[in-house]
Each structure stands twice: as C-alpha cells, then as structure tokens.
Amino acid sequence: MMKTFLGLLFLGVMAYAQPTCNKCSGTYVSNQEIQAYLKRVEGQAVADQQVRALDVGKTDVAIGLVYRGKLTAPKNQSVAEHDKVSEVYHIIDGTATLMTGSDIVDLKPRPADDRAVRLLNGPGGNGASINNGKTFNLKAGDVVVIPAGVGHLFTRIDDHIRYLMIRLDPDKVAPLKDEAAAKADLASGGKDN
C-alpha cells in the first residue's frame, strides 16, 4: 500500500513538473545523509531540518526531517498555517495525534524574519486552536497531506515522533538548498540557520 502511494505521489509530482523542467537532473539523497540529519535533531523539543529544496520546473520541492519530543498538550498559538506551501508527512517512527483544519482561531501572521518563513515554508501564521478540525492518530508508516492554508498542530506526542516531510512550493517562496548547501549545513551543526 505504501509503495503504491509513494509511486502515485512521485508520478503526480513528475507529471506536474516535467514539461517545464528543461534538462533537469534527478537528485539523490543518501541514507547516510538522512541519518546525519536525524542524529542532529534527536532529543530536541522540536527540530525541523531542511535537507534539500529543489527547483523541479513549475514548482519547488523540499525534503525535510522533523523530530518532535513528548507533548502532553499543545502550547499557546501552536497551530501552524502556511499560506503557499503544502506539506506531506511520512512518519518514520513514534506516535502522535495531529489535528488539521481550515477554521483557525486567532490566526496571527508570522514576522518575515521568522526562521520558518525565511528558510522553510514562506509566509504563514500561528493560531490558538482549530474549530471543527480532523484528528489523525499517527504511527510509523503513515502519511498525511496538509494543503497550503490548512492549520495543523500536534495535540499529543507519546514519546517522540520523527517524520520525513515533503514541501510543495509552487510559488517558490522558500529558498533553494542544493547538495553543497546541505553539506555545509551539516558541517556547521545547524548554527548558520
């Protein structure tokens, strides 16, 4: 089932991007590099690491790794919303409860100098809660798709959760990050962000 979903996602992204990506090449990210990013974020309360951000024609596609530690209840203004970037989470390990929805209470824009705005998702905001949200109990192997403009927050994380994130950026609001930039980021220990 997972292979079928990932195959369809890949074909969808490729069908969307291919006609406008003149002489693009594929991008390979080794498991060694993925593990280096995962090791770097282990044990932090929340760590969102952009591994690559690539121009694939009509859209940019970014690959990130996220680690979140134990959470018994959401903090204030913890609903995240990204105006122009959609996200796909593939859970690597851990369990958590995620809520999504478009009716965000007390949504406030993030400042332009916010790290997430500058480096990860472009413009967006944070809200206090979600009215009439949909709840998902996530575990290893699960996939969640969060369209741009949809609020999302973890309401509970049992011990931790780690996930691979694919960001779809058709308006190209976030900066690109190639292999050389990724290697420099890993070498710096993330201190340049």
Q: Write out pLDDT tens, residues 57-111.
A: 889 999 999 999 999 999 999 999 999 999 999 999 999 999 999 999 999 999 9
Its domain, for residue 56, covers 31-188
Cβ-count burial of 188 within 10 angstroms (0-12 exposed, 13-18 middle, 19+ buried)? exposed
The pair of three-digit structure tokens given for residue 6, joined into one six-digit string:
């990932």
Question: How many independent structural domains does the chain possess?
Answer: 1
54 versus 1: which is more confidently predicted? 54
| pLDDT mean over 39-68 | 89
Task: Give the pLDDT confidence score for residue 183 in this predicted structure.
Answer: 92
4 versus 20: which is more confidently predicted? 20
**In this model, does residue 20 exceed pLDDT 90?**
no
Q: Is residue 144 part of a domain?
A: yes
The angle, 0 to 180 degrees and rounded to 10, between the axes of the packed helices 31-41 and 179-188 is 40
Return the CATH number at 81: 2.60.120.10
Task: Give the pLDDT confidence score for residue 76 in this predicted structure.
Answer: 93
Q: What digits encode the pLDDT tens for the residues 118-153? A: 999 999 999 999 999 999 999 999 999 999 999 999
Task: Give the pLDDT confidence score for residue 155 in this predicted structure.
Answer: 97
Paired residues of 131 in beta bridges: 103
Q: Is residue 16 part of a domain?
A: no
Q: Is residue 178 part of a domain?
A: yes
Q: Is residue 20 part of a domain?
A: no
Asked if 177 and 52 touch (Cβ cutoff 8 Å), the reply is yes
Task: Give the pLDDT confidence score for residue 192 in this predicted structure.
Answer: 53
Task: Give the pLDDT confidence score for residue 46 in this predicted structure.
Answer: 82
Q: Is residue 82 part of a domain?
A: yes
- pTM for the complete prediction? 0.85
Q: Is residue 166 part of a domain?
A: yes
pLDDT category of residue 23 using cuts at 50, 70 and 90: confident
Number of H helices, E strands in the chain: 4, 11
Q: Is residue 9 part of a domain?
A: no
Task: Give the pLDDT confidence score for residue 42 in this predicted structure.
Answer: 74
| Among 172, 185, 163, 187, residue whose Cα is nearest residue 92 | 163
